[in-house]
Amino acid sequence: QSVLTQPPSASGTPGQRVTISCSGSSSNIGSNTVNWYQQLPGTAPKLLIYSNNQRPSGVPDRFSGSKSGTSASLAISGLQSEDEADYYCAAWDDSLKEVFGGGTKLTVL
Amino acid sequence: QVQLQQSGPGLVKPSQTLSLTCAISGDSVSSNSAAWNWIRQSPSRGLEWLGRTYYRSKWYNDYAVSVKSRITINPDTSKNQFSLQLNSVTPEDTAVYYCARFRLSSVESYGMDVWGQGTTVTVSS
């Protein structure tokens, strides 16, 4: 049972906009920033969004993040086949640990 | 650019100690703008943060409650690397283990921006 709650799956067709939610509590998302990671099959997670809504260099602007209260969201616009992957949210929890969501498997139909 | 190279055995017997090393290139384990983490991933537990070490005038460690009694993360400044030791392993510790850098400044955190390649560790006799 992950501390942060994500839907197990999401899907969309090429060109569509898809949103993935991440729900936490006052001790993690409510008081700290949220990061998002993309994991392609057989590879290590890759940082996609940091500090709620910032993109590292090289991440397309099709990816965006937001946070409100104890929830966060990742949006992918102009969906492409190569976006098919697992997506994880993460945040520091004030109990002195990093916590992750259970992951959302994105399927591009 | 910064790279993390993991090494260590892929098979550990129950009750023994799991030991992994993460060698850093392009940054310093003593950096005051980074924390060095171990994370594991399994189908049953998903991504699970295990702990971190970092230097801010002195060395600090934080460990996950779930493994706190069994885990040690040590920096090695002479080799610019850090290590994971997990004692008394059981089959439940079977997972892919990753090391990762968490970059941060005094005003912002930048997430785990560099990851090792992952090591599949199986606990079995």
B42-101 pLDDT, tens per residue?
A: 998 899 999 999 999 999 999 999 999 999 999 999 999 999 999 999 999 999 999 999
Residue range A48-68: average pLDDT? 97
Q: Give the confidence band of A37 by pLDDT, cuts at 50, 70, 90.
A: very high
The answer to whether the Cβ–Cβ distance between B62 and A96 falls below 8 Å is yes
- The answer for residues whose C-beta is within 8 angstroms of residue A91's C-beta and 6 or more apart is A4, A24, A28, A29, A32, A33, A34, A35, A72, A98, A99
Task: Give the mean model confidence (pLDDT) for residues B26-40.
Answer: 97
Query: Under DSSP, is residue B107 helix (H, G, I), strand (E, B) or coil?
Result: coil
User: Among B124, B92, B109, which residue's Cα sits nearest to residue B37?
Assistant: B109
Mean pLDDT of all residues in B102-117: 92
Summary mean pLDDT of chain B? 96
DSSP-assigned letter for residue B67? G
For residue B108, is pLDDT > 90? no
pLDDT at position B105 over 90: no
Look over chain A and give the mean of its residue pLDDT values, rounded to a whole number.
Answer: 96
The per-residue pLDDT for A14 is 97
pLDDT at B37 over 90: yes
- Please report, rounded to a whole number, the percentage of residues in chain A having pLDDT higher than 70: 100
Reading the block at residue B27, the tokens are 């940054």
Distance from CA of B116 to the nearest CA of A (A): 7
- CB-based contact A80:A17 (threshold 8 Å): no
Identify the pLDDT of residue A95: 87
Are the beta carbons of B112 and A35 separated by less than 8 Å? yes
Q: What are phi and psi of A27, to 5 degrees?
A: -85, -10
Of A44, A51, A54, the CB nearest to B98: A44
Whether the CB-CB separation of B14 and B89 falls below 8 Å is answered with yes
- Cα(B123)–Cα(B17) distance, integer angstroms: 10
Instruction: Show residues of chain A in contact with B98, CB under 8 Å.
Output: 44-45
Query: For A46, which residue in chain B has the nearest alpha carbon?
Result: B113
